[in-house]
Amino acid sequence: MLIRKHNLLDGSAIPTSEITPQAKYEQYKRLSRRGLLTGAGAVAATALGADRIADLLAPSNRVHASTKLETVKSPLTTTGEQLTTLQDVTHYNNFYEFGVDKSQPAQNAGTLPTRPWTIKVSGLVKAPKTFDIDTLLKLHPLEERVYRHRCVERWSMVIPWVGYSLSELTKQCEPLATAKYVQFLSYFDPKVEKWWSESGIRWPYSEGLRMDEAMNPLTLLTFGLYGDILPNQNGAPVRLTVPWKYGYKSAKSIVAIKFLSSQPPTSWNDQAPDEYGFYSNVNPNHDHPRWSQKYERRIGQAFYAQQRTTLMFNGYTDQVGSLYSGMDLNRYY
Ligand code: MTE
């Protein structure tokens, strides 16, 4: 989303030396579970390096000291490409409630209160329901799914998400036959998300899917990444991941789901309808009014690395192409 100031659209802003390798991250978590400041922890901390420890203990990183989620491998993992580092996944974010710069959510989202947390389900359902986050976590086995993540701003990542198909929750919601769309609303508290006024978005953040898109098995109700619960800046404690659509369709920190008969208003479409459509399928043949969507840059690669060709539906045509047969995707962008 390009409304105001932005960082570079590639990973060059973060020198390779600053990237926390997953192994170090695991080591850090083991230490923090045992109590980093005890004698044994202090010895190991020395081995890690004082600067790195200071970095890991910084408020922006504390959100990672979290519980591992039990996962099963998923047949719906859809890419064998190199994973984007945890450091990049958690420090190059769009979460405008916590600031418009990519680095701000990691610095500011630590105050997001992720417990207690509920999702209220309403609208065209047999009966309204409220799901507690801990109930949701046990509703279905959690899967690890590696998906491509393509932002409308032309950067991309490859992320091992943790969750299960949204359809598992949708079935529990018992939507009526008249429900044709689903709306997702994010948490909004201006006292916590003090950066809300920087972007001009009408809050709370709202996104929507057509019912068949919501029921597609690829649409992931996401609770974690890299085997752990979601860091706050990535949309804790529960978000959506819709891998064939531009990143903004994936609402973070969801508190309400509504089943509707007509298309719900969505935040970016509301802000600039000619730039951000309701569908927002990744589509190299439909340019954004201000730039081509034919190419993308993988975050973490050097600035001079060759750009990648963007794939139709982000490479998920086999799974989702049929949802749009007969539709003019230049009109329904
Ligand atoms: N959800 C909320 N509530 N607020 C936001 O600003 N940004 C969207 C989406 N979900 C956003 C949001 C955009 S523009 C993108 S690209 C993705 O989240 C970014 O997800 P990531 O930070 O985990 O990569």
- DSSP-assigned states of every residue in 67-104: PBPP-EE-TT----SPPPPHHHHHHS---GGG-SSTTH
The tokens for 50 are: 């004082």
Mean pLDDT of the chain: 86
Domain assignment present for 330: no
Residues 13 and 148 in one domain: no
Q: Is residue 262 part of a domain?
A: yes
User: Are 45 and 167 members of one domain?
Assistant: no
In a domain? residue 329: no
- Does residue 53 lie within any of the structural domains? yes
273 and 192 part of one domain: yes
**Max alpha carbon distance in the chain (Å)?**
66
Question: Where is the domain boundary, 18, 37, 57?
Answer: 57
Say yes or no: 15 and 71 in one domain: no
* Closest ligand 1 atom, residue 89 Cα: 24
Of 13, 35, 57, the residue at which a domain comes to its end is 57
Same domain, 19 and 49: yes
Q: Does residue 95 have its Cβ closer than 6 Å to ligand 1? A: yes
- Distance from residue 248's CA to the centre of ligand 1 (Å): 5
Percent of the chain with pLDDT over 90: 77
Considering only residues 74 and 14, tell me which one the structure prediction assigns the higher pLDDT. 74
From 100, 203, 232, 250, give the residue whose CB has the most ligand 1 atoms within 8 Å, as the site to mutate. 250
Tell me the CATH number at 244.
Answer: 3.90.420.10
pTM of the model: 0.83
Q: Is 90 in the pocket of ligand 1 (CB under 6 A)?
A: no
What is the SS3 assignment for 328?
coil
- 103 C-alpha vs ligand 1 centroid, how far in Å? 13
Range of the domain at 300: 67-324
Looking at the predicted structure, is the pLDDT value of residue 146 above 60?
yes
199 lines ligand 1 (CB under 6 A): no
pLDDT value of residue 67: 79
Residues 14 and 126 in one domain: no
When pLDDT is averaged across residues 308-332 and rounded to a whole number, the result is 98
Same structural domain, 169 and 32? no
Distance 201 CA to ligand 1 centre (A): 13
Q: Which atom of ligand 1 is nearest to the CA of 233?
A: 22
Residue 1 CA, closest ligand 1 atom number: 14
Cβ atoms of 254 and 186 within 8 Å: the answer is yes
Q: Specify whether 104 is located in the same domain as 180.
A: yes
310 and 192 belong to one structural domain: yes
User: Are residues 73 and 149 both part of a single domain?
Assistant: yes
Q: Which two tokens stand for residue 63?
A: 């959100």
- Domain C-terminal end among 9, 37, 57: 57
Residue nearest to atom 23 of ligand 1 (CA): 234
Total tally of structural domains belonging to the chain:
2
119-134: pLDDT as tens digits: 999 999 999 999 999 9
Tell me: do 48 and 129 sit in the same domain: no
List pLDDT tens digits, range 69-100: 999 989 999 898 999 999 999 999 999 999 99
Q: How far is CA 11 from CA 37, 99, 161, 305, 312, in A?
A: 33, 19, 20, 10, 23
